[in-house]
C-alpha cells in the first residue's frame, strides 16, 4: 500500500510540483491550499506524513505545526516544513514548533523524497 502524504501549500504551482515529485517517488498525495482545513483533512485522509509550507495566509506553517503537535491524535504525524524561509533562525523556530524535518525551497526531487522516506 502506498504511503499517503498531505501537502499543504497556498500555491497551486508548488502543490503540482510537490505532488509530481511524490508520485515519482512512489507516494500517494492529497493536497490542500487552505491551512485552516488541515485537521479536517487529516481526519478524512489519515496521512502518514505532512508537507507544510510556512508562508501562507490565515494560518502560517509555524502556527499550524505548533497546533498539530499540541493535540492528539495529530501530534504523532511527522511534519516536514517545505519553505523558502531558510535562515538558521527559521529552521530553529520550526524545530521549536515541533517540526520533524525541514526542506528548503528550491529543493531537488532527491532532497524531498529523502526527507519523506525518513518518516513514511
Q: Widest CA span of the chain, in angstroms?
A: 38
Backbone φ, ψ for residue 4 (5° rounding)? -105, 135
| Residue ranges of domains in the chain | 4-117
Q: Would the pLDDT of 120 be above 90?
A: no
Q: Of 34, 31, 24, which Cα lies nearest the Cα of 2?
A: 24
Quick one: pLDDT band at residue 15, thresholds 50, 70, 90? very high
Alpha-carbon distance of 46 to 59, in angstroms, equals 21
Q: Which residue has the cell 482545513?
A: 37
Give pTM, 2 decimals.
Answer: 0.96
For the segment 97-108, the average pLDDT, to the nearest whole number, is: 97
pLDDT of the residue at 76: 97
Task: Answer yes or no: are the C-beta atoms of 109 and 25 closer than 8 Å.
Answer: yes
Alpha-carbon distance of 17 to 61, in angstroms, equals 18
Q: Which fold has domain 4-117?
A: Rossmann fold (3.40.50)
pLDDT digits (tens, 9 = 90+) for 44-95: 999 999 999 999 999 999 999 999 999 999 999 999 999 999 999 999 999 9
Q: Of 64, 90, 89, 93, which Cα lies nearest the Cα of 79?
A: 64
Amino acid at each position: 500500500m502506498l504511503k499517503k502524504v498531505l501537502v499543504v501549500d497556498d500555491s497551486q504551482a508548488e502543490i503540482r510540483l510537490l505532488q509530481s515529485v511524490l508520485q515519482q517517488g512512489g507516494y500517494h498525495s492529497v493536497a490542500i491550499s487552505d491551512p485552516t482545513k488541515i485537521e479536517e483533512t487529516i481526519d478524512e485522509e489519515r496521512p502518514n506524513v505532512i508537507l507544510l509550507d510556512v508562508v501562507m495566509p490565515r494560518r502560517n506553517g509555524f502556527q499550524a505545526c505548533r497546533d498539530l503537535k499540541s493535540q492528539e491524535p495529530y501530534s504523532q504525524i511527522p511534519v516536514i516544513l517545505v519553505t523558502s524561509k531558510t535562515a538558521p533562525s527559521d529552521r530553529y523556530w520550526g524545530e521549536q514548533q515541533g517540526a520533524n524535518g525541514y526542506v528548503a525551497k528550491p529543493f531537488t526531487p532527491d532532497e524531498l523524497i529523502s526527507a519523506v522516506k525518513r518518516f513514511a
